[in-house]
With several copies, the nearest count.
Chain A
Amino acid sequence: MSSVLPREILITTIARLLEGVRHVAVGASSPMPAAGAMLRRALDEKERTVRLSILGSVEHNFFTNGSCELFDSAGQGRIDAFFLGGGQIDGQANVNLVGVGDYPQVKVRWPGSFGSAYLYFVVPKVILFREEHTPRVMVEKVDFVSAPGFSDPEVYRPGGPVALLTGKGLFSFDKTRPGFTLESTHEGESLASIQEATGFAFEHADSVPQTPAPDAATLKLLRSRVLDELEETYPAFAADWRRDLAALSVPA
């Protein structure tokens, strides 16, 4: 088990969450979601075509109508999955990409909401992905709602969050409550360590399983084809990964 890198478990988990999708879009600086989508594509290639759009990439760009096309195609229902991070994420899956403190003169200003206030509503599978899992990120209530985790029934909302994946564990989201359920803890974490790191309450089984590592075949695919593909768009991330593999003394 210690022969698998933490990021490989994250990427494999992302690929599992993407089961059944046809078209995934990821942000420009999102190597792990991209890797997860590439793994999904490699696993599914005999059954279906999985498209991967990486914003700002030339190689992984299916768009020819400018930066509005991502939003248009999401509105058309042509994007099945998307990833959102967040400076703050709260227990109702609200996401804050704007800042900490009283808006507009926030104490800490982040870039802004980007397309979240739209995509979170229309993309069926939105995966919240943030490696940093601390009480300052996983808060009880966000200071600014860039995009809300759930909406009243009269609001047009074919999309929304399905999961929250962090450096410590994987949660599913139940929009009927609404709230998160801890599904698994990553190696080295426990229910207690996650509760301590999380500013919001969440549900969990009495005994929470560990996040599964990839099987040997998947791991091989990941370290060969996916890593090679990833290198084209994210050379620095791929180099890092290769270095860590070398340190593991595992043949890459």
Chain B
Amino acid sequence: MQSDLKGIVSRMRSGMRIAVPVDYAGVSMALTRPMIEAGLRDLDLVCVPTGGLQVDMLVGAGCVRSVETSAVSLGEAGGAPRFNAAVKEGSIKVIDATCPAVHAGLIAAQKGSPFLPLRGLIGTDVLANRPDWTVIDNPLSDQKDPVVLIPAIHPDVAIFHAPMADRHGNVWIGRRRELAPMAYAARETYVTVDRIVEGNLLADEMTGAGVLPALYVSAVAEAPKGAWPYGLWGEYNADVDELKRYAAAARTQEGFDAYMSETAKQGEPA
């Protein structure tokens, strides 16, 4: 159950479909560089429901084939430079979604259902560009009532960062419940955590309430401040200066490459 960053990355393969969380929910930035260094290619990323720095870095490093997402940006630090460039060049495929549709696809997989219906969407170009989404006439209505069916999303892998896990593999996700459907839906789930704690997080009703059980967790690696430069809810804030530094550097591919090799030398954040 317990592993390390290299051990986790060694279980990933090129061509896998990988689900990653929204920037404030616990992004496993600690896994990003090892994934790049492992030379993974043709990854299909699913952003739950939006992406940021991790997506931009993986795209900039050439690891990505497609991105299914409701948005990609660096938040306060602006647009996602490598993602935006790749979209313009057509070097990655972008599969535009809308937030609740990504959730719906994961929850369909969580429930073992082939699809979930979702209101909205009719008449959007989001729908028009999603041949995998199907409009049907609501069979339970006696009037015309079009509704969109979102197929289940089954990622090969889900990765995220959380404050803590125990040695049994139980991970404390608190109220960031979107992390649970990611894991339920994925075949394998790899988690980095700020700390491994003694005891069993499920043994107590108070901690247990916020736990993703080990049943859904394939491996856990300790990575202190592993969400940096993103923040981690209840733990530390985002390092906006670093995000801005990245955003400025990554406006060009050369700048991105320089940033990556420079920060590689720096090692882990303080």
Contacts and interface: CB of A to CB of B under 8 A. Distances in A.
Chains A and B come from one and the same complex: yes
Interface of A: 23, 28-29, 51, 56, 58, 61-69, 71-78, 97-99, 103-107, 109-122, 144-148, 151-152, 154-156
B219 to A, nearest CB: 14
B109 A113 contact: no
A111 B71 contact: yes
B215 A78 contact: yes
Contact of A67 (B103, B202, B209): B103
B210 to A, nearest CB: 8
Contact of A65 (B98, B100, B101, B175): B175
Given A61-B202, A98-B96, A111-B72, A56 B24 contact: yes
B120 A144 contact: no
Contacts, number: 187
B99 A67 contact: yes
Given A78-B215, A106-B87, A155-B146, A144 B122 contact: no
Given A63-B175, A64-B208, A67-B178, A103 B125 contact: yes
A18 to B, nearest CB: 17
6 closest residue pairs by CB, A with B = A75-B112, A112-B71, A66-B178, A66-B177, A117-B98, A118-B120
Interface in B97-139: 97-101, 103, 107, 109-113, 118-129
B98 A115 contact: yes
A64 B215 CA distance: 11
Contacts of B48: 67
Given A73-B184, A155-B146, A145 B124 contact: yes
Nearest to B143: A154
Interface of B: 22, 24-25, 48-50, 69-73, 75-76, 79-80, 83-84, 87-90, 93-94, 96-101, 103, 107, 109-113, 118-129, 143-147, 175-181, 184-185, 202, 208-216, 233-234
B87 A120 contact: no
A61 B234 CA distance: 13
A51 B215 contact: yes
5 contacts: A103-B125, A105-B88, A112-B97, A118-B101, A145-B123
Given A71-B100, A112-B69, A66 B25 contact: yes
A29 B76 contact: yes
Nearest to A117: B98
A114 to B, nearest CB: 5
A61 B126 CA distance: 29
A120 B120 contact: yes
B184 A148 contact: no
Given A62-B202, A68-B100, A113 B70 contact: yes
A107 B90 CA distance: 11
Contact of A122 (B84, B97, B119, B213): B119
Given A71-B99, A115-B49, A145-B128, 4 more contacts: A61-B202, A113-B98, A117-B124, A118-B99
B111 A75 contact: yes
Contacts of A97: 71
Contacts of B96: 98, 104, 112-113
Given A62-B202, A66-B178, A109-B84, A155 B99 contact: no
Given A68-B178, A114-B71, A115-B98, A122 B112 contact: yes
B49 A67 contact: yes
A170 to B, nearest CB: 26
